[in-house]
């Protein structure tokens, strides 16, 4: 009987030690949970106050928007788009292939949102061969849209020239409804400056200053010019690579210094200068925006329509990413160049359009993507030059 108090005391001591050890292991987890739930910078022990502590109440309702994580208007949703790793292409090449998801810009779902942030244009012209989804969206927003036949830039009825005339007509006649403003996105250098100020710094920051290659197509040339102009002084070894669709002359301009495509040679010239299902990139003239970056572009990759279609299906099948034609071209070129560089490199490209804008044309040709389809990498890179 006399030994029982000693036994009880020993048991109590052991039990207390076990509780302390358990709390020591559990405490960090409790603190992490608390931090995640309340966003607190204090630890749990900091939240317990003695009776002498002074507790000050705060009026949360009177806080201004500036102190909250709230954007002011839809323009606040433009820029700072995610940079995502395309896992299937990274695994297939041994490189880290990252894509700037510019189709997630909050204005119109395009890199052009950055350029058009402060531009309101009521009269718009576009080639008649563009996907109808693009013009239907503008019509729903109250714009006047003219779909004009594709033509060379020297033709007065080229959509750029037509837009310029309409803008001047509306600006000079107060009796006409609406206003006229010619954005001139191909030649207006505010285009590449928007990407120098936004897209380029974002990529640099999101990659922690490590980019081995930047791959992008060029229509107006603003994206590749702005990003290249920002990255090259900070990353002297970075390779800037043009992704060019079939029918465009920019590939040969970079590779051989001439604006020429084999589809345009005498005796084989087709009716349209850029004979491709790809929209948004590819051109047969050098714009003021593209000229800014021409000396910074180290290489070019030519991508045909079949490769672009195969890549679009691959991205849906393997990664669940649904993109349009110019994004598919960018990803083909990024994959080819990653294989050329070899494993261990980081290649960044642009996802500039969603597939939902290309259902009537590009994806109509691509066809449905079902469980039985299995696109092969050889279909994407096998016919590359």
pLDDT of residue 132: 61
Q: What's the CATH number where 267 sits?
A: 3.40.50.1100
Residues 229, 251 share a domain: yes
181 lies in a domain?
no
pLDDT of residue 56: 60
Highest mean predicted confidence (pLDDT) among 105-114, 245-254, 267-276, 343-352: 343-352
180 lies in a domain?
no
Residues 131, 152 share a domain: yes
pLDDT of residue 8: 53
pLDDT of residue 40: 47
62 lies in a domain?
no
Residues 223, 149 share a domain: no
φ, ψ for residue 11, nearest 5 deg = -60, -40
Sorting pLDDT into bands at 50, 70 and 90, what band is 74? confident
183 lies in a domain?
no
Residues 160, 83 share a domain: no
For the record, the structure tokens of 9 come out as 């005391």
Residues 138, 228 share a domain: no
61 lies in a domain?
no
Residue 166 lies in domain: 120-172
Least confident of 40-54, 145-159, 228-242, 258-272: 40-54
- Residue bearing tokens 């997630």: 104
9 lies in a domain?
yes
Residues 255, 131 share a domain: no
- Residue bearing tokens 């001139």: 184
Please name the residues in contact with 136: beta carbons below 8 A apart, sequence gap of 6 or more.
none
Residues 102, 39 share a domain: no
- Whether the per-residue pLDDT at 351 is higher than 70: the answer is yes
Residues 373, 283 share a domain: yes
Q: How many domains does the chain have?
A: 3
Residues 92, 130 share a domain: no
pLDDT of residue 51: 46
When pLDDT is averaged across residues 259-276 and rounded to a whole number, the result is 59
pLDDT digits (tens, 9 = 90+) for 96-131: 999 999 988 876 777 777 766 634 433 744 455 555
55 lies in a domain?
no
Residues 239, 139 share a domain: no
pLDDT of residue 122: 37
For the record, the structure tokens of 377 come out as 């990498």
CB burial class (10 A; 0-12, 13-18, 19+) of residue 143? middle
When pLDDT is averaged across residues 144-148 and rounded to a whole number, the result is 64
Per the CB < 8 A criterion, the answer to whether 227 and 195 are in contact is yes
Residues 129, 97 share a domain: no
Residues 254, 133 share a domain: no
Per the CB < 8 A criterion, the answer to whether 228 and 240 are in contact is yes
CA distance 384 to 303: 7
145 lies in a domain?
yes
CA distance 214 to 223: 11
């Amino acid at each position: 009987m006399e030994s029982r108090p000693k036994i009880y005391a020993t048991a109590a001591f052991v039990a207390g030690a076990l509780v302390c050890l358990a709390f020591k292991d559990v405490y960090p987890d409790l603190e992490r949970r608390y931090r995640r739930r309340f966003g607190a910078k204090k630890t749990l022990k900091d939240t317990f106050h003695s009776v002498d502590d002074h507790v000050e109440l705060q009026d949360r309702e009177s806080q201004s928007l500036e102190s909250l994580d709230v954007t002011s208007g839809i323009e606040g949703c433009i820029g700072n788009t995610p940079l995502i790793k395309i896992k299937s292409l990274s695994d297939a090449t041994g490189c880290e292939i990252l894509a700037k998801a510019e189709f997630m810009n909050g204005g119109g779902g395009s890199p052009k949102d950055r350029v058009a942030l402060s531009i309101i244009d009521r009269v718009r012209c576009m080639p008649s061969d563009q996907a109808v989804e693009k013009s239907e969206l503008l019509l729903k927003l109250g714009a006047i849209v003219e779909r004009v036949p594709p033509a060379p830039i020297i033709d007065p009825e080229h959509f750029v020239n037509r837009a310029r005339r309409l803008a001047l007509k509306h600006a000079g006649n107060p009796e006409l409804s609406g206003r006229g403003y010619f954005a001139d996105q191909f030649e207006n250098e505010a285009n590449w400056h928007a990407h120098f100020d936004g897209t380029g710094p974002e990529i640099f920051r999101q990659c922690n200053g490590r980019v081995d290659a930047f791959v992008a197509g060029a229509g107006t040339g603003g994206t590749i010019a702005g990003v290249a102009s920002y990255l090259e002084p900070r990353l002297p070894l970075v390779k800037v690579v043009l992704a060019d669709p079939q029918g465009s002359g920019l590939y040969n301009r970079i590779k051989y210094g001439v604006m020429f495509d084999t589809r345009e040679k005498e005796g084989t010239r087709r009716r349209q200068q850029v004979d491709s299902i790809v929209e948004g990139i590819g051109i047969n003239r050098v714009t003021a925006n593209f000229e800014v970056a021409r000396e910074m572009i180290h290489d070019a990759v030519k991508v045909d329509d079949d490769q672009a279609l195969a890549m679009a299906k691959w991205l849906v099948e393997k990664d669940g990413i649904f993109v349009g034609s110019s994004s598919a071209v960018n990803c083909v070129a990024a994959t080819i160049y990653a294989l050329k560089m070899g494993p261990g490199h980081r290649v960044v490209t642009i996802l500039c359009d969603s597939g939902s804008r290309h259902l009537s044309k590009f994806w109509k040709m691509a066809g449905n993507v079902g469980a039985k389809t299995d696109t092969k990498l050889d279909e994407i890179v096998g016919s590359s030059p």
